[in-house]
Each structure stands twice: as structure tokens, then as C-alpha cells.
Amino acid sequence: MFYNTLLLNAISWAREAGAVQLHYFRGNNLDIRTKLNDSDIVTAADKASERLLIGRILDAYPSHSILTEESGDIRHGNEYRWVIDPLDGTTNFSAGLPGFAVSIGIEHHGETIAGVVFAPYINELFHAVKGQGAFLNGSPVRHSAKTDIAGAVISTGYPVDKASGAEASNLDNIARVMPLVRGLRSLGAASLDLCYIAAGFLDGYWETNLHLWDVSAAMLILKEAGAECSRFRSDRNISIVAGTPVIHDRLRQLVS
Ligand code: IPD
Ligand code: CA
Ligand code: CA
């Protein structure tokens, strides 16, 4: 089926993009530039990874559209669109921390039908095709069995505009959730947060002010692993709560 062909290409190109990331990782040629503010950065590796992915996709599928973080909208046909974060977790990457990934979601008529998230340094490749389950390095994964938030390990993130006031900072949510859970983490790559719920390594997650390229692939992987994900705060781009079905519902009551 064509979706599986698309997936195989996405996996192969994600591995190539991961190799590009590793070429730059912990090196001296990162060329770190700020975007909106000091917390929002792009490196030469983001750009090189994106160049490779755009080239591969358009060579193979010239009629497909692409939405990608650094270059925006590349519009061709309306049938297929690739939604790409060429390097998710750039702050980790720029600091020499291993939690970074390439994320590739594929939409057919607006619905995500395949997703790949590859973290090259730790060699973890997550994938899913709609209706076919979720996989980590080729083995099926499923969300954890946790139902009690007191025993849950949860993660969240800090939005790039965190310094612009209490409304944006996520601190009120952190203050509400942190005392109730076993552990509250911030791993620094939204795509991996969601995939770790899919694999049962995290039990829940929320974050505000994300973008489609951060979550497109991982939201499919998470759903295919039986976990749940929903949006809140329509005023803050993509703000999501995710988790095992029970933890998702409990977290939803806590965050705003
Ligand atoms: C960021 C990461 C991070 C999240 C930020 C995102 P980037 O993506 O996913 O975990 O907290 O909101 O912007 O900039 O590293 O691709
Ligand atoms: Ca990102
Ligand atoms: Ca990025």
C-alpha cells in the first residue's frame, strides 16, 4: 500500500537527517542564531537537516506539499503534505545533550497517516502508520498501565515566550501538577515526550505554545499506542495534554 511506501521513505530519510545532525553534534560549527528571543534558536544542523529532507521529498514526490519549521510552507498539490521538524530539541542539541530528534509526519487530505520520530544519538526510531500500531526500533509499543497520578512520571516544557508574563509561563500548571506526581520532568523535545508516552516510559505530558511540526508525527505514534492526546488553550498555538487514558483525563482537569 502507498502509505507503507511513504513510511519506508520517511524512515530512510529520517536516518539520513539523523546522520547530518550527528555530524554537527558537540562540534564547533553549530552557528547558533537566535530567532524570536534568546530561548528560540536555530543552528547549521537544523538548516542542513531541513535541506536534505526537502530535497529528498521533492525529488521523489514533486506534487507533494511540505510544512517545515525553518522554511515554512512549500505548496504544491493538496493531496499529500509532509510536516517536518528537521531538528526537534535544538536547545538540547546546542548544549550537547542527547535528547533531540528529527520528526516527519505525512498527511493525506489533511489527516496524518504516517509518522517517524528518530533520535539519532540514542538510536531510537519510533514509527506508525494509521491503523497499524506504533513501534520503537521495529518492536510494537503500548502506553503504560498507570492509572494513579501519584505514581506517574509526567513531563512538560517551557514555552519560548516564557518570560512574557504569568499567562505564558506555564508556571501555574507546574505548581498544580508537580506536588501530585512521582516525578515531573522536562526533556526538551516535544516529539520525544509524546513518543515516550507511546512506549510507556512516561505516563503523561502537557505543553503550551507548540507548533504542528513538533507534534504531527508523534501524535499519530501516541494514538497508535493506545494513549490519548487532546488540545487545550486555543489562544496558545498548539497546547496539548497527553497520557495513558486515565492520566490524560486527570491531567486535563489540572492544566489550563
Ligand atoms: C522545541 C522543543 C521543546 C519545546 C519547544 C519547542 P525546537 O522545538 O520541542 O521541547 O519545549 O516549545 O519549540 O525549537 O527544538 O524544534
Ligand atoms: Ca520542535
Ligand atoms: Ca526544530
Structure confidence by residue, pLDDT tens digits, 7-19: 999 999 999 999 9
Atom index in ligand 1 nearest the CA of residue 158 equals: 11
The pLDDT score that the predictor gives to residue 161 is 84
pTM for the full predicted model? 0.97
**Among 83, 54, 67, which residue's Cα sits nearest to residue 220?**
83
The pLDDT, as a whole number, for residue 1 is 81
Q: How far is the CA of 69 from the centre of ligand 1 (A)?
A: 11
From the CA of 93, the nearest ligand is: 1
Q: Could you write out the DSSP letters of every residue in 162-222?
A: GGG-HHHH-HHHHHHHGGGSSEEE--S-HHHHHHHHHTTS-SEEEEEEE-HHHHHHHHHHH
pLDDT attached to residue 201: 98
Q: Are 210 and 190 in contact (CB under 8 A)?
A: yes
Is the CB of residue 188 below 6 angstroms from any atom belonging to ligand 1?
A: yes
Using a 6 Å cutoff on CB, does residue 50 contact ligand 1? no
What is the per-residue pLDDT for 163? 83
Residue 105 to residues 89, 93, 140, 163, 195, Cα–Cα distance (Å): 17, 21, 19, 30, 13
Written as tens digits, the pLDDT of the chain (256 aa) is 899 999 999 999 999 999 999 999 999 999 999 999 998 899 999 999 999 999 999 999 999 999 999 999 999 989 999 999 999 999 999 999 999 999 999 999 999 999 999 999 999 999 999 999 999 999 999 999 999 999 999 999 998 888 887 778 899 999 999 999 999 999 999 999 999 999 999 999 999 999 999 999 999 999 999 999 999 988 889 999 999 999 999 999 999 8
Mutate to test the pocket of ligand 1, among 42, 88, 174 (most ligand atoms within 8 A of CB): 88
CA of 100 to the centre of ligand 2 (A): 9
pLDDT at 42: 95
